[in-house]
Structure 1
Amino acid sequence: MAAGHARVYTPADTVNYENWVRLCYRQEHPGVMLAGPVSMVVAAYFAVPKSYSKKKAALCASGALKPTCKPDMDNIVKAVADALNGVAYRDDSCIVSLSVHKLYGDAERLEIVLQGEEAPR
């Protein structure tokens, strides 16, 4: 606290990640803003660790084994929701339904599905 005021600090890596999410959304959905209630599905895919045996890697590929590595699901969602504030929807308080999944995949990626009514232009 400085002079009785709390400071909010967002790490540079988080700011960069949020900017990347924002850029990707704008490229995929130029000018699209949702109005009213929004449903969000987030799927975060992680690479299978090279140290895993073939058997363990096969379990990852089949979905039987899920990643328990960082980042935490709540941190992933917070970054995505904050990044899309004012871009995909008015405010993240509009998110009324949320589903989050951490999975193994061939390539590390983040898939985001938003459902809601498109705001009038």
Structure 2
Amino acid sequence: MTIKYPAGGMVSKDVQPVDDDSVELTLRDHPLIRRYGRLAYLVIHGEPVPAGRPRFTRQGHAFDPKRSRDYKKLVSEAAALQYHSELLHGIPLKVDVKVYRHVQSSISKVERAKRLSGKHRPIVKPDASNYLKLIEDALTGIVWEDDNLITDVSCSKYYSDDPRIEVTVTETGAKRPNNLKEPHY
């Protein structure tokens, strides 16, 4: 099956259709959220692209490079197709991003196996934070009202034969651990 995004991007992928004729529930009452604690889980198929450094016009206006801008649009469209709940607002969020980069074809079979098993992880550019920033910006207005709701983040890079980005959004626990004392200034 080919996934076609409204702006023209597409990815060929085996996708199982989802029956979405469920009873209307509030976001926190949904069975998956009660079971897994997830507010959202998104998978964006295709080779991940990091946020590029902003470029400036002669007049001093900043803009994203075309590659980043196009990928941000693709992520937004993929998220809009997958996320059908209310816009998250007024709660602290934890966002976990897993970036799966394509394994290079010019490496040995032994090295390839190590990369696919997770023994060797990507320690090359781009930085995980560049992927994270693009995801935060792309999902603003689609999954969450504003990315200032994000209080906890994690971003991990892996190798895979199925390049993609997986985003899991949960509510941040508001409790402060007992073993931490208030800072004294």
Normalised-by-shorter TM-score class:
0.7 to 0.9
Q: Which runs of 5+ in 2 are unaligned?
A: 1-57, 173-185
Distance (Å, rounded) in 2 between the aligned partners of 1:88 and 1:25: 8
Q: Is 1:81 aligned to 2:136, yes or no?
A: yes
Q: After alignment, is 93-102 or 66-75 more displaced?
A: 66-75
Q: After alignment, is 75-84 or 60-69 more displaced?
A: 60-69
> How far 1:50 sits from its partner (Å)?
0.7
Q: Which runs of 5+ in 1 are unaligned?
A: none
**Equivalent pair of 1:46/1:103 in contact (CA under 8 Å):** yes
Q: Is 1:10 aligned to 2:54, yes or no?
A: no
**Aligned partner (choices 105, 111, 117) of residue 166 of structure 2:** 111
Give % identity. Answer: 29
> How far 1:116 sits from its partner (Å)?
3.1
TM-score (norm 2): 0.57
> How far 1:87 sits from its partner (Å)?
1.5
Indicate the SS of the match to 1:82: helix
Indicate the SS of the match to 1:22: helix
- State the match for 1:29 in structure 2: 83
Distance (Å, rounded) in 2 between the aligned partners of 1:31 and 1:115: 14
**Equivalent pair of 1:34/1:116 in contact (CA under 8 Å):** no
Which deviations, in whole Å up to 9, do the C-alpha atoms of 1:68-108 show, x marking residues without a partner? 23332111111100011121111111111101010011211
- State the match for 2:181 in structure 1: none
> After TM superposition, which residue ranges in structure 1, 4 or more long, deviate above 3 angstroms?
none
Distance (Å, rounded) in 1 between the aligned partners of 2:106 and 2:124: 14
**Aligned partner (choices 8, 33, 39) of residue 94 of structure 2:** 39
Alignment length (residue pairs) = 114
TM-score (norm 1): 0.85
Q: After alignment, is 82-91 or 67-76 more displaced?
A: 67-76
Distance (Å, rounded) in 1 between the aligned partners of 2:142 and 2:118: 33
The structure with the greater share of residues assigned to helix is 1
RMSD: 1.7
Distance (Å, rounded) in 1 between the aligned partners of 2:163 and 2:147: 25
